[in-house]
Structure 1
C-alpha cells in the first residue's frame, strides 16, 4: 500500500493510445509533407484510394493499422488547450487518421486523428503527438515515424490478380491467330467447351488456377495505362479470362458468363512480360515464364487419358513393326495366333494389355513435325468387342531425346507423348524366347585294346 501511495498519478493512467481494435478500422489516412495516402476496406479487402486506386496487401495494411492501435504512451505531457508550438503541434508535420465502421469520434465521423509533432530535446527516441479524441499531448516511441515513411507501393498487393476460386468455373484463353480455348468446370471435372465438351486435363486446369492466384508482380511499371501500345497491351499476345457461369437465371444472378478477372499479356521485356488486369489503370510486369504455363492450343488441354478399358475387354490384338503379329482370344479365353507362331509369352501379352487398356499420355505435343510419323516404329490395332466391330488404333512415331515417344490415335485429334516404360511394355516380344537344348552328356572314352603283334 505504501508503494502504491508513493507512485505519481500518471503511473495509474491508461497508456493505451486508443481502445479501438485493429480489426475495427475500415479506413486509414496518412498525410505528410510528401502527400496524402488513403486506404479503405471493401468487402474484407483493403484498397488504396489515394493517390491512386489499387489493390492493397491485406496483411501489410493490417500490420500497419495494428502498429497504430497498439501504440503505448511513453509520457503524458500536457492537455492540448495551451500553446502547442513547443511540441511542434501548432502546425503538425504529419497526421494519421483511423475510422471504424460506426466511428462518431473526432466530430461528425471525422475519425480518430493523431497529429505528429517534434522530437523532445532530451528524449530523441520519442516524438510528440496530439491525439484528438483524448485532447492531450503525449510522447510515443519514434518508431511511429516508420508509418509516415510508408509509400503506396509498399502497401500494394503484389499478387497479379485477386479472384474467388470458389466462384470460378470457366477459363477462356485467347491467342490471336489461334483457336480460342474455353474450359468449363462442373463439380471437380473440367471440359473443353469448344471441343464438343471433350474431357479436359483437370490437373492442368487446377495448376493454372493456382499459378495465377500465386503469381507475384515483379514491378509496378506504370500507374496510368495511357500508352498501351508501348507495352504491347493494345493488342495482347495472350488474354486469360476467369469467369463464373450460370446456366439459368436465379435470384442472385442472370444466366450466362460473368467475368471475375481478365489478364492481358503484352510485350516481353527481358525475363519479364508486361501485363494488365481488367480495367485496372496500371501496367505491371510478371515473370516471362508465366506465358509458358498457359497452353494456347485447345488440343494441349485434352485429358491425358488415351484409352480407358479393362484389359479383359480387348478381344483381338495386332502389332505391326517390321512384321505383323496378331492374337485373338479363343473360346477358352486363351490367346491364340492369327498371324504369327511360336509359344506365346503370356506375361508380356498381359503387360501389353494392361498398358494399352489404360494408356495415358505424359503430355500433348504442340506443333509436332510431320516427319514424326513418316515411318512409324509401332502400330497397334485392337478390338474391344467379341464381334470385333469396336476397333481402335494406336500409332507410335519418333522418340525424342527425352525418352518419350510421340503417338496418336484415330479417336483423338493431336499428338501426345507416351513414357519410355509404356513404350517398352508395348514393344515387348510376344513369343517366348527359344529354350536352349540341353548339352549332350559327354560319354566316357574307351581305350582301344592293344593290338597283338605278329
Structure 2
C-alpha cells in the first residue's frame, strides 16, 4: 500500500508540474508573443510577403514596429508629412492582398518617424530605422559583388593585359610565379590581391545603358582569372575602359550586367612583375642560426649563441640590440631590385666581396651572404646569397648592419653597483 501511495503522489506531482509549466512558462511565452505582435504595424508574417514595392516621388521601384499612436483618424495629415508621403511601402502577400505603409516626416526628437497604414488615418510613431530600412535606391538593392568566391579556394591567378601575361600557382601554403618567369612569389602580396577582388564591390552602375564593346569589355583591357580549386571552376573578372577618372567599367564574365569599380584592382593587376615576386634577401629560420661569421678584408670574427645570449669566442657578451638588428635584416628587409641573369660578378664587385657573412647551425653552413659594390639605380649595395645565382640590390642600412668590427658589438659592462640592463 505504501508503494501505491507513493505512485499516486508521484502522478499528482507530475500533474501539478505540467499544469504549472502550461500556465506559467508556456503561458508566459504566449503572452510575450502576443505583446510583440501588438507592436507590429502590419500583422503579417515575412514568409507570406511575395513582393515589396518602394514608391518615392517621381520614382517607383520594383518589420515595421509600431510605437505610440499620436493621432486617431487625423483629419489633417500635413503636420505629420503624410499628406504627400515621401515614402510608401507596398507588400504583396501570398493570398494576393496588399498591405501599404506610408512614412512621413521625423518627429522633433529625430528618433522616430510618423507613419500610417493605407486606408487608415491613424498616425503612429515608428523607429526611424524602419523608415531607413526601406529608403533604398535601385542601385542599393543590386548585387554589388565583383566576384563570388572564397579566398582559400583559389589556387591559380592569371592576369592578361594586351600581350602581357602573369600566372601564379599555389603549392601548399606558398605561391610561385610561373609566367613570365619561374620564381617565388610574395605570399603576402598575392593574398592581398585575391582579398581585394574577394571583397571588392561595384561603386555604381552606368546611368545610361552601355554595351560591352562601348565599355571596352569586348575584348577586355584586363582579364583576371582566379581558379577555384574546390569548385574546379574559373572566376573571371573583365575590366574595361574608364567612364571617369579613377573608375573602370567591369563585369563578372558569368553575368551580363556591367558595373563600375574603383581603380584599386586594375592598378594592382598592372603592377610590374617585380612587385609580385618574393623580395626576401635570404630565407633563413633565425631559430636555427647558432653562429654568424663576418669577414671584411682581413678582419674575421664569429658571433656564437650561448643559451639566450650571443658571445665572442673569448666569452665576451655581445649587445643584444645589434645582434637583433642582424637577425631582423634576414627576416624583414627586402631587396630593392633583383638581377636574375647577372653579368660577370666583377660587374657588381662580387668577385671580391667587401664583406661576407656565413650563417651556421653547429658545423652545418646554412647560408652565405656576400656584399659587393654600391648600386646607383636603385641606390643601394649589390648582394648575393649562396642559394641563388641572382644578384640583388639591398639598402645601405642592410650592409651597415654587417659592416662592423667585433669591438662594435661587445657589451660594455655596467659600473659596479648598477645591475646589467635586461634584454
2:289 aligned with 1:311: yes
Q: Give CA deviations for 1:95-146 in whole Å, capped at 9, x if unaligned.
A: 63446xxxxx452xx4753165999xxxxx9676427xxxx66546698988
In structure 2, the residue matched to 1:208 is 193
**What is the CA distance between 1:294 and its match in structure 2?**
6.6
Give the Cα–Cα distance (whole angstroms) in 2 for the partners of residues 302 and 32 of structure 1: 54
- Asked if the contact 2:329–2:398 (Cα under 8 Å) also holds between the matched residues in 1, the reply is no
In structure 2, the residue matched to 1:70 is 65
2:255 aligned with 1:278: no
**What is the CA distance between 1:226 and its match in structure 2?**
0.7
Give the Cα–Cα distance (whole angstroms) in 2 for the partners of residues 191 and 138 of structure 1: 65
Q: Give CA deviations for 1:367-399 in whole Å, capped at 9, x if unaligned.
A: 879899944485637485999998745455545
The alignment's C-alpha RMSD in Å is: 5.8
Alpha-carbon distance change, 384 to 198 in structure 1, aligned in 2, over 3 angstroms:
farther
Alpha-carbon distance change, 94 to 381 in structure 1, aligned in 2, over 3 angstroms:
closer
Structure having the larger proportion of residues in helix: 2
Give the Cα–Cα distance (whole angstroms) in 2 for the partners of residues 311 and 409 of structure 1: 16
The runs of 5 or more residues in structure 2 that have no matched partner are 1-36, 75-81, 106-112, 304-310, 410-423
Alpha-carbon distance change, 384 to 224 in structure 1, aligned in 2, over 3 angstroms:
farther
Q: What secondary structure is seen at the aligned counterpart in 2 of 1:28?
A: strand
- Asked if the contact 1:365–1:415 (Cα under 8 Å) also holds between the matched residues in 2, the reply is no
Q: What secondary structure is seen at the aligned counterpart in 1 of 2:229?
A: strand
**Aligned residue pairs: how many?**
340
2:276 to 270, 292, 300: 300
- Asked if the contact 1:190–1:205 (Cα under 8 Å) also holds between the matched residues in 2, the reply is no
Q: What secondary structure is seen at the aligned counterpart in 2 of 1:180?
A: strand
In structure 2, the residue matched to 1:258 is 233
- Asked if the contact 1:158–1:216 (Cα under 8 Å) also holds between the matched residues in 2, the reply is yes
**What is the CA distance between 1:29 and its match in structure 2?**
2.7
In structure 2, the residue matched to 1:47 is none
The runs of 5 or more residues in structure 1 that have no matched partner are 1-12, 39-65, 79-86, 100-104, 120-124, 247-252, 337-342, 434-454
- Asked if the contact 2:338–2:392 (Cα under 8 Å) also holds between the matched residues in 1, the reply is no
Give the Cα–Cα distance (whole angstroms) in 2 for the partners of residues 409 and 420 of structure 1: 16
Q: What secondary structure is seen at the aligned counterpart in 2 of 1:422?
A: helix
- TM superposition score normalised by structure 1: 0.52
2:52 to 18, 25, 28: 28
2:139 aligned with 1:153: yes
Alpha-carbon distance change, 368 to 265 in structure 1, aligned in 2, over 3 angstroms:
farther
Alpha-carbon distance change, 147 to 387 in structure 1, aligned in 2, over 3 angstroms:
closer
**What is the CA distance between 1:225 and its match in structure 2?**
4.7
In structure 2, the residue matched to 1:182 is 168
Give the Cα–Cα distance (whole angstroms) in 2 for the partners of residues 235 and 427 of structure 1: 54
- TM superposition score normalised by structure 2: 0.55
Q: What secondary structure is seen at the aligned counterpart in 2 of 1:359?
A: helix
1:194 to 178, 189, 207: 178
Give the Cα–Cα distance (whole angstroms) in 1 for the partners of residues 97 and 346 of structure 2: 74
